[in-house]
Structure formats: structure tokens, C-alpha cells
Amino acid sequence: MIGIVDYGCGNLMSVANSLEFLGFDCFVSSDADKLSAAGGLILPGVGAFPAAMEMLEASGLVGCVKGFTRPLLGICLGMQLLFSVGEEVRECAGLGLVPGRVRLIDTELKLPHIGWNSLSLRGASPLFRGVPDGSFVYFVHSFAGAAENPADVAAVTDYGTEVLASVSRGNVHGCQFHPEKSGDTGLKILKNFAELCV
């Protein structure tokens, strides 16, 4: 059973619907005890980094997420929250599960970055098992993580500069893109994550 973290700041139902379509049991909850007992966690997120961290702290779920030892997936802003520090609006501490900072994308192209971009896979993340290099996924963001450890980088994309698209560090994974909006490729990535949780 996969828990989807409800802290008032995420696109919850589209993720839940995608998992259910794939045949995996999931639930949406703000209850730390229920979430801590899940086989895996998904941390979604939309909006600005500091506001999302404040909502996560106010929900009392920071300890639950930081202490989770089974597979954890951050999506979009949820991936950014995995990092040590965010620079959006003001400098703000993140969850610190992936060493690095979240910065405005340094590109001459228009921000936010909205649309389909191809992935350049790095390493051997279980998220991308059976996903061909160069597969397209859907992004909506202006900020992106910069991982301190190159081994944590699972995929990048190009948006006038190299942009971090995915991380994997132990049980912690992240997608800057929206797998739930990325067609068959996104469903395959969600399936790969869900299979880690059973």
C-alpha cells in the first residue's frame, strides 16, 4: 500500500488515479501513523518552496517523511523539497534527504519551463528500468535541484542548459517532471516505483 502525503500542497488525485489505473493500492492521508506504516510514500507538491515547507511543517509530517525508510518518491516541488536548501522567494531549509540546493534555472529560454522534454539517463536508477534513454516526459517548473553528489543524479534534461530531472539516493527518489502527466513513459516510471514498495 502506497501512501500519498497530503499536506495541502499537491496534485494528489491524479497521482492516486494513475497508481490505481496501474493496479496498485494507495491512499491519500495527512495522518503520520498511517503514512509511516505504508509500503512506500509519494510526496507531491505545487507552488513555492518556502510555503510548501511551512505547510509540511504545520502538518506535523516532516519527521514522518524524513524518517521513512522504505521507498520515497518526490514529484515536482515534492522532489525539490528533498534537497537541503531552496532559493525560491527566500533561502529556506528543505528536508535534507538529498544534499544540494534548489535554484532558478539559469537559461536564456522562457521560464517557467513548461512542456515535453527528453531524458538523458544517468546511472542505474530503478525508476527507469525498461525506460529508453531519450524518452519524453512533461515538466512545469522554474527552479531545479543541483545535487552535490553526481551519484545521486538519475536523469537530466536540456532546457538551454542541463537541468536535473531525477534523483535517486538509497530509498529516496525524485522526479522533477510529472510522471502522472507523462503518458506511457510516466506510467512505466510510476509502476517501477510502485514495484519497489511491495
Which of 88, 113, 180, 197 does the annotation list as catalytic?
180
How big is the CA angle at 156 (ends 197 and 159), to the nearest 5 degrees? 135
Contact in structure between 79 and 169 (CB atoms under 8 Å): no
Instruction: Tell me, yes or no, if 141 is annotated catalytic.
Output: no
Strands, sheet with 2-5, edge to edge from the N-terminal-most edge strand: 26-29, 2-5, 40-43, 72-75, 172-175, 162-169, 153-158, 120-121
**Which one is catalytic: 26, 64, 76, 92?**
76
Q: For this structure, is 175 an active site residue?
A: no
Of the listed 113, 141, 173, 178, which one is catalytic? 178
Provide the grid cell at 39: 509500503
180 carries an active-site annotation: yes
Which residues are identified as catalytic? 76, 178, 180
